[in-house]
Amino acid sequence: MDEEISIINTNTRNEKIKNFFVQNKKKIISVLGIIIILLISYFALGEYQDSKKIKISDSFNSITINYSESNKEKTAEDLIQIVKEKNSTYSPLSLYFIIDNEIINEKKTINELFDVIIYETSLDKEIKNLNIYKKALYNANDSNESELLNILNPLIKSESVWKSHALYLMAEFFYSKNEMQKSKEFFNQILNLENANQEIQLEAQKRLNRDLSE
C-alpha cells in the first residue's frame, strides 16, 4: 500500500514538473536566451577591451618613439586623442609626454586635458590625487592664491599621501610671494601631519629653521 502511494506521489510530482515546463516553455526559453546573450556579451566585451588596450598601447609607443620637432603638431593631435580615450594607463602617460616635451604650450588646453584625466578617467584614488598635484605644479607659477588653492583643496582636505606635497607647494608659493606668515602656517601643518612624507617634512623643518624662525 505504502509503495503504491509512493509511486502515485512520484508520478504526480513528475506530472507537475512536466506541466510546469510545458506551460512556461516560452518564458524558460526566453530566460535561457537572455542568459546566453549576456554571457556572450560579457566575454565579447572583455576581448574588445583587451584588444582596445593593446591598440592604445601600440599607438602610444609608436607616437612617442617616432616623435620629433618635425612632427610636433601631429604628435600633439595623436596624444590628445589617447588622453580622450580615458585609458587609466596611457591617457595620463600621454599628457605627461606632452608636458615634458613641451608639445603643447597653451595652458588652457593642458588644463582641459588634466580635467579629462582627473574627472573622467577611471583611476585609483591616489593616482587621481597625484594628477591633481601635477596639475597644481603645472599651474603654480602662473596662478594666484585662489586658483592654486582651488586645485589643491581636494588634497589639503583629505588624508591622501599627497597631502604633504600639496601643503609644501602652497607654503613655497606664499614664500615666493613674500607672505611669510601664510608660508609658515603651511610648513607647520606639514610638521603636524601624521602621515607626511618624511623628506617633505624634513625640508619643511629646514625652511622653518633657516628662513622663518623668529
What digits encode the pLDDT tens for the residues 193-213?
988 899 999 999 999 999 787
Give the helix ranges, DSSP H, for the chain: 2-23, 25-65, 72-84, 90-100, 107-115, 125-139, 145-156, 163-176, 180-191, 198-211
- Rounded to the nearest angstrom, the gap between the alpha carbon of residue 67 and the centroid of all alpha carbons in its chain is 26
Q: Which one-letter DSSP state was computed for residue 71?
A: G
Query: Helix 163-176 crosses helix 145-156 at what angle (to 10 degrees)?
Result: 160
Mean pLDDT of the 105-134 span: 96
End-to-end, the C-alpha distance of the chain in Å comes to: 105
Half-sphere exposure of 161 (CA within 13 A, CB side): 9
Please answer whether residues 136 and 152 qualify as being in contact, where contact means their C-beta atoms are separated by less than 8 angstroms: yes
Sorted by where each begins, the domain ranges of the chain are: 53-123, 145-214
Express each pLDDT in 127-156 by its tens digit: 999 999 999 999 999 999 999 999 999 999
pTM: 0.76
Q: Cell 549576456: give the residue.
A: 38
C-alpha cell of residue 98:
606632452
**Per-residue pLDDT for 43 more than 50?**
no
pLDDT digits (tens, 9 = 90+) for 167-203: 999 999 999 999 999 999 999 999 999 888 999 999 9
